[in-house]
Structure 1
Amino acid sequence: MEPMLLLLLMVVLLAVPLWQTFRQNKKIREIRAMQDRVAPGERVQTGAGVHGRIVAVGETTVDLEIADGVVTTWERAAILRNLTREAEAAEGPARPAPEAPEAPEAPEAPADGA
């Protein structure tokens, strides 16, 4: 019985790091896919924590406007988050605006002045 318990413990100890590696690789693939889809006008955050709006997208670089009239060039791989798409995802699907309730009619004043 003891060798089976030892074997089970070894399998678990090997499976946990392997599972974490798969999760980490999935996250890396998601970030790279997001980096490939960035477009001008979107707000992003770099790995260094700089927030900016994408002005232009090159093959391997992006130009970020980090303040009015201040444009810096970054490697596309430096983009960590797409803040525009995260905000859109948080808002959920667009909902139609609720209709305003009709105003109640004002009572008419008597015609005879009383």
Structure 2
Amino acid sequence: MNLLLLILLLVVLILPTMMMQRRQRRELARIQQVQEDLVIGDHVVSNAGLHAVVRGIDDTTVELETSPSNISVWEKAAIVRNLSQDERESAQAQQVAQPVEEAPEAPLRSEQDPGEQPQR
């Protein structure tokens, strides 16, 4: 009985921790992918909340333009969201969600007037 309670207690304490670590790893992988996919002209958000346009990219730094002719250099690791990529993904999702128009179907025999001859 005591062994069962000990196992249950361990599961209750360890399982949520493992789930949180998994979620954090997934989020970190998403942010790293955003940083790798940056291109000049993307609208981005930094971890400090700065909204800017990417004007230059190096191995570890990016040049961000916050207003015309105001460029500052930031660590690439500070970029957490790519608004341009989010817009592209939502546009693609909308294109997929739009139904394709189908050609009108021929009426069924039951929908035709009884006096009409069937079309051949």
TMscore range, shorter length = 0.7 to 0.9
TM-score, L = length of structure 1: 0.75
Shift of 1:93: 4.9
Please give the per-residue CA displacement for 1:70-98, whole angstroms capped at 9, x wherever unaligned.
111110000010010112222325479xx
Deviation at 1:33, TM superposition (A): 1.5
Report matched runs for 1:81-100 at 5 Å.
Answer: 81-91=81-91, 92-94=93-95
Deviations 1:23-79 (A, max 9, x none): 101110110121011010100000111101101111110011100111111100000
Long gaps (5+) in structure 2: 99-120
C-alpha distance in 2, partners of 1:10/1:51?
44
Counterpart residue type for residue 88 of structure 1: R
Corresponding pairs, count: 96
When the two chains are superposed, the root-mean-square deviation of aligned CA atoms in Å is 1.8
For normalisation by structure 2, the TM-score amounts to 0.72
Higher helix fraction: Structure 1 or Structure 2? 2
Provide the C-alpha distance between the structure 2 equivalents of 1:61 and 1:6, rounded to a whole number of angstroms: 50
In percent, how many aligned pairs have the same letter? 31
Matches within 5 A, 1:1-114: 1-91=1-91, 92-94=93-95
Give unpaired runs (5+ residues) of structure 1: 97-114
- Report the 3-state secondary structure (helix = DSSP H, G, I; strand = E; otherwise coil) of the residue aligned with 1:5: helix
- Alpha-carbon distance in structure 2 between the residues aligned to 1:81 and 1:13: 33
Matched residues in 2 for 1:14 and 1:61: separation?
Answer: 38
